[in-house]
């Protein structure tokens, strides 16, 4: 008998792709295209991106081990959202107000509203995971009851 | 709530997440590659002029916004404030709702003018007679990426002010002549009859120690024939002043009226300006 190959979930493929491979390539490409830009900025971003993306890959892989409706899966999903915000924050420079010095004068980029939008989207995702947890928890409990009755 | 209803939340959440990812990448490129850049004027980019006829003090400068980012820069608000050395506010200037489209560079002219009538006599005398340092506070606020990102620039330009009448005032003859002519210029009727001899002091102005050499140009700009015997003549004097690294331009517009063997000269406009090199 032929054994069926185990399917790799899309989330496990997309997480390293979107959080590690594509951003790293983008940073390296910009770094090589614009050698006049400060190395520190790129290094700071790389240092921030690599550990957070590894944590995200780990979370995405482990969250799929648990069934929907279990508290572990819910907590892992919420931590996935939180680490995504942290990752994004680091990717954009690690500060709400980015101060640059161009042509010897201070120049400020305020990302306040943008960060608020990110937090708003993250909240929607957390609400979704919470509702998913509630809906599937009921389903899991009813399944358990059914199996108990059948026994 | 059931599984089907969950999809109604999941779909917008996913769409919004993709939107954030898309914006983040565009924004990241803009921030990292310095695609948005503002060229703020430096001290030598600021020039001033005095218009004695309209009794106005003018400050001219400009700045350029280079927007090579993916989105338009809009709601650009500029405010400028000119302050004297001792903190006295001379001029307030505001300009709102300017736009720089993506992939374009735009230069905005800052033309700050104040009427001498708005200044008290002491401030006016200080401007005309005392060398000083003016501070030009420039504050620029703009929105980028659908208003989600605010861009802000604050700068103080210190501009050395060389009083236009500072050195002239040492000369009794010129002061006397000036006091003669200024009341005539003060008159609301610009066609006030002024004798050409009233301007003889100009030759002396150009010979002041402000100037390093004699090579000033007297040029006639335009002669407009209104009638055969009535002409408007625009002419000016341009003299370099090495000491302040610039040029003083004194411009006149006069109405020349010939009547038989006599003629009348009526002053229409006078302006004194300074242009930095």
Nearest CB to A110 within list B27, B32, B152: B152
Whether A126 contacts chain B with CB within 8 A: no
- Chain A 49-78, CB below 8 Å of chain B: which residues? none
Residue A35 has pLDDT above 80, yes or no: no
Please give the distance of CA A28 from its chain centroid, rounded to a whole number.
21
Please give the distance of CA B164 from its chain centroid, rounded to a whole number.
16
Confidence category of residue B186, pLDDT binned at 50, 70, 90: very low
For residue B155, give Cα distances in angstroms to B36, B65, B79, B169.
17, 15, 11, 34
Q: Residue B56: in which H helix or E strand, if any?
A: strand B56-67
Please report the ipTM that was assigned to this predicted complex.
Answer: 0.79
- Please name every residue paired with B19 in a beta bridge, in sequence order, or none if there are none: none
CA distance B95 to A20: 44
Contact B57, B274 (CB under 8 A): no
Contact A121 B16 (CB under 8 A): yes
State how beta strands B230-241 and B149-161 pair.
unpaired
Which two three-digit tokens encode residue B121?
A: 């006599």
Q: B187 vs A68, which has greater pLDDT?
A: A68
Q: What is the pLDDT of residues B216-273, one digit of tens each?
A: 455 555 566 666 667 776 666 666 655 556 666 666 666 666 666 665 666 666 666 6
Contact B149 A124 (CB under 8 A): no
Nearest CB to B31 within list A92, A103, A125: A92
Report the percent of chain A where pLDDT is more than 70: 90
Q: What is the pLDDT of residues B36-75, one digit of tens each?
A: 777 777 766 777 776 655 667 777 888 888 888 878 888 8
Which two three-digit tokens encode residue B141?
A: 């606020």
Residue B141 has pLDDT above 60, yes or no: yes
Confidence category of residue B199, pLDDT binned at 50, 70, 90: low
Q: B175 vs A91, which has greater pLDDT?
A: A91
Contact A93 B31 (CB under 8 A): yes
Q: What is the pLDDT of residues A45-98, one digit of tens each?
A: 888 889 999 999 999 988 888 888 899 999 999 999 999 999 988 887 778 887
pTM: 0.64
Query: Phi first, then psi: what are they for B2, rounded to 5°?
Result: -115, 180
Report the percent of chain A where pLDDT is more than 90: 25
Please give the DSSP secondary-structure letter assigned to residue B198: G
Confidence category of residue B179, pLDDT binned at 50, 70, 90: low
Q: Which residue of B has its CA nearest to A102?
A: B37
CA distance A122 to A128: 10
Q: Which residue of A has its CA nearest to B149?
A: A111
Nearest CB to A91 within list B10, B24, B151: B24
Cβ neighbors of B66 (< 8 A, separation 6 or more) are: B35, B36, B37, B38, B39, B105
Mean pLDDT, rounded, for B146-166: 76
For residue B210, give Cα distances in angstroms to A36, B44, B51, B190.
44, 18, 20, 29
State how beta strands A97-102 and A105-110 pair.
antiparallel
Query: Phi first, then psi: what are they for B44, rounded to 5°?
Result: -75, -5
Chain B closest-CA separation from residue A4 CA (Å):
28
**Which residue in A13, A135, A115, A125 sits closest to A79, CA to CA?**
A125
Mean pLDDT, rounded, for B76-97: 80
Q: What is the pLDDT of residue B212?
A: 39
Residue B207 has pLDDT above 50, yes or no: no
Q: What is the pLDDT of residues B106-121, one digit of tens each?
A: 888 888 777 777 766 6
Nearest CB to B6 within list A88, A107, A131: A131
CA distance B276 to B263: 38
Please give the DSSP secondary-structure letter assigned to residue A21: I
Mean pLDDT, rounded, for B87-115: 82
DSSP A40-73: HHHHHHHHHHHHHHHHHHHHHHHHTTSPTTSHHH
CA distance B182 to B166: 16
For A73-78, which contacts have Cβ atoms below 8 Å and span 24 or more sequence positions?
A73/A133, A74/A129, A74/A130, A74/A132, A74/A133, A77/A129, A77/A132, A78/A126, A78/A129
Q: What is the pLDDT of residue B189?
A: 43
Mean pLDDT, rounded, for B140-157: 84
Q: B97 vs B163, which has greater pLDDT?
A: B97
């Amino acid at each position: 008998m032929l054994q069926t190959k185990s399917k790799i979930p899309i989330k496990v493929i997309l997480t390293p792709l979107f959080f590690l491979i594509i951003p790293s390539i983008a940073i390296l490409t910009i770094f090589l295209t614009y050698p006049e830009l400060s190395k520190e900025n790129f290094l700071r971003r790389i240092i921030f991106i690599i550990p957070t993306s590894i944590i995200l890959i780990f979370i995405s892989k482990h969250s799929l081990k648990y069934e929907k409706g279990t508290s572990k899966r819910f907590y892992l999903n919420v931590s996935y959202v939180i680490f995504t915000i942290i990752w994004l924050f680091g990717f954009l420079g690690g500060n709400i107000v980015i101060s640059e010095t161009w042509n010897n004068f201070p120049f400020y980029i305020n990302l306040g509203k943008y960060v608020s939008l990110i937090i708003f989207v993250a909240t929607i995702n957390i609400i979704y995971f919470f509702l998913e947890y509630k809906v599937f928890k009921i389903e899991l409990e009813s399944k358990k009851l059914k199996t108990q009755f059948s026994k | 709530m059931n599984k089907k209803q969950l999809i109604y939340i999941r779909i917008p959440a996913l769409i919004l997440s993709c939107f954030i990812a898309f914006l983040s990448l565009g924004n990241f490129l803009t921030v990292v590659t310095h695609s948005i850049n503002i060229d703020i004027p430096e001290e030598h980019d600021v020039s001033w002029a005095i218009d004695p006829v309209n009794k106005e003090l003018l400050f001219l400068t400009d700045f350029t916004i280079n927007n090579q980012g993916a989105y338009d820069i809009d709601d650009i608000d500029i405010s400028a404030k000119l302050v004297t050395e001792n903190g006295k506010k001379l001029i307030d200037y505001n300009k709102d709702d300017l736009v720089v489209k993506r992939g374009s560079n735009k230069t905005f002219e800052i033309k700050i003018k104040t009427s001498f009538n708005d200044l008290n006599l002491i401030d006016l005398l200080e401007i005309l007679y005392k060398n000083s340092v003016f501070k030009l506070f420039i504050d620029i606020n703009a929105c980028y990426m659908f208003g989600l990102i605010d861009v802000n620039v604050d700068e103080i330009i210190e501009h050395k002010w060389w009083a236009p009448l500072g050195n002239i005032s040492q000369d009794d003859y010129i002061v006397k002549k000036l006091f003669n002519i200024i009341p005539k210029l003060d008159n609301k009727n610009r066609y006030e009859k002024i004798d050409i001899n009233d301007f003889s002091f100009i030759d002396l102005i150009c010979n002041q120690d402000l100037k390093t050499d004699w090579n000033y140009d007297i040029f006639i700009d335009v002669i407009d024939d209104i009638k055969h015997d009535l002409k408007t003549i625009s002419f000016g004097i341009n003299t370099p002043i090495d000491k302040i690294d610039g040029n003083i331009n004194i411009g006149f517009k006069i109405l020349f009226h010939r009547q038989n063997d006599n003629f009348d000269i009526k002053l229409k406009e006078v302006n004194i300006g300074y242009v930095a090199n």
